[in-house]
Amino acid sequence: MYNYVEDGDSKTTAYVEGDQDKYEQFMARIEAGEKIEADDWMPDEYRQSLIKLISMHGISEIMGALPEKEWVPKAPTLKRKLGIMAKVQDEMGHGQLLLRVAEDLMKPYERTREDLMDDLLNGELKFHNVFHMPTKTWADAGLVGWLVDGAAIISQTNMLDASYGPYQRALQRICQEEVFHAQHGEAIIMALAEGTEHQREILQEALNRWWPALLMFFGPASKETTGSSKQDVMIKYKIRKSTNEELRQAFLDKYLPRVFSLGLTVPDKTVHYDKAEEKWIYQQPDWDEFKQIIRNKGPRSKERLRLREIAYENNRWVRQALAPETVEV
């Protein structure tokens, strides 16, 4: 899954001196809706924006499997266990697919997937804010599928026509699987919403806890908030179409009526649809807290990174065995 989150200022420039002709041809291809491939010339700003986006997306898929994996042994029935296990496997597959796309883009810098894993462990590569959060009850497992995968679908369909071919093709497949994840989550939510008083209680409690993280999912609204214009750079290069706030509004449009129709509430009394402005009004989450969370100071950041590190170390022998130089010909 996941979305590009703004953090800090972009230091890249569109092209270096002498490359103006190449840059103009490149932009003409982008404007014409052509797909850019891995070996094509591309401006450094485009390459670096893609590396940042796709490596964060890929690593978030892998980090996202960790909170859900916690519920595989505790799922209430065999059917639910199989469902959530398949979802965890899908997310790991998404991560692998995307990290390969990022690795191709990093070739000019002689950087590899191993470097990305080092970046993750030393805090340079961030993973999505929602995966720093705890999953306390079975309702969290349902909510992650229903609303976090639901948000991911909105964020990723925004890039389904991305100008970079390898990413666009990976997203086509990923989005199809994400739809299954959202349906799986929705089925859990429906069972809880139609269940006992206790089941409804844990569902409402989970939604109350997840609400700020869900609002944060799409990132801050504008560069006035972030001091960054990375959203604009991605829109200029037709990597994405909509801004963070447009995506958040699309999410609220789709899910708030469903939330209310189940008799659930959100922990924000100001939430309402403003017909004149044609948008949802809501209380801003604490964006300073958001910055802390993605800097690995969230409630579960350290534990999840440690788990990843242990898995990475334990599986080192597999990577070594598969390395091309060890294959005899």
Q: Does 91 bind Fe ion (CB under 5 A)?
A: yes
Q: What single-letter amino acid sits at 20?
A: Q
CB of 309 to Fe ion, least distance (A): 22
Judged by CB under 5 A, the number of residues near Fe ion is 7
Q: Phi/psi at 7 (nearest 5 deg)?
A: -160, 110
* Cβ-closest position to Fe ion: 181
- Spatial CB neighbours of 272, under 8 Å, sequence gap ≥ 6: 280, 281
Per-residue contact flags (x/-) with Fe ion for residues 157 to 176, judged by CB under 5 A: --------------------
| Packing angle, helices 78-106 and 113-121, rounded to 10 | 110
**What size, in residues, is the chain?**
329
Q: Which stretch in 15-23, 30-38, 57-65, 272-280 sits in contact with Fe ion by CB under 5 A?
A: 57-65
Q: Does 94 bind Fe ion (CB under 5 A)?
A: yes
Q: Does 149 bind Fe ion (CB under 5 A)?
A: yes
Binding to Fe ion (CB under 5 A) within 202-261 occurs at none
The beta strand positions in 236-322, using DSSP E, are 272-274, 279-281
CB of 158 to Fe ion, least distance (A): 15
Instruction: Quote the tokens at residue 304.
Output: 């999840």
Q: Does 193 bind Fe ion (CB under 5 A)?
A: no
Q: Does 181 bind Fe ion (CB under 5 A)?
A: yes
Q: Does 1 bind Fe ion (CB under 5 A)?
A: yes
Contact 85, 145 (CB under 8 A): no
The C-alpha atoms of residue 67 and residue 208 are separated, in whole angstroms, by 18
Nearer to Fe ion, 94 or 209 (CB): 94
Cβ neighbours, 10 Å, residue 197: 6
Binding to Fe ion (CB under 5 A) within 258-287 occurs at none
Q: Which stretch in 31-39, 87-95, 285-293, 310-318 sits in contact with Fe ion by CB under 5 A?
A: 87-95
Q: CA distances (Å), 42 to each of 45, 55, 101, 163, 187, in order? A: 8, 18, 15, 11, 44
Q: Does 178 bind Fe ion (CB under 5 A)?
A: yes
CB of 32 to Fe ion, least distance (A): 31
The closest of 230, 231, 221 to 284, measured between CA atoms, is: 221
Nearer to Fe ion, 105 or 148 (CB): 148
The footprint of Fe ion (CB under 5 A) covers 1, 61, 91, 94, 149, 178, 181
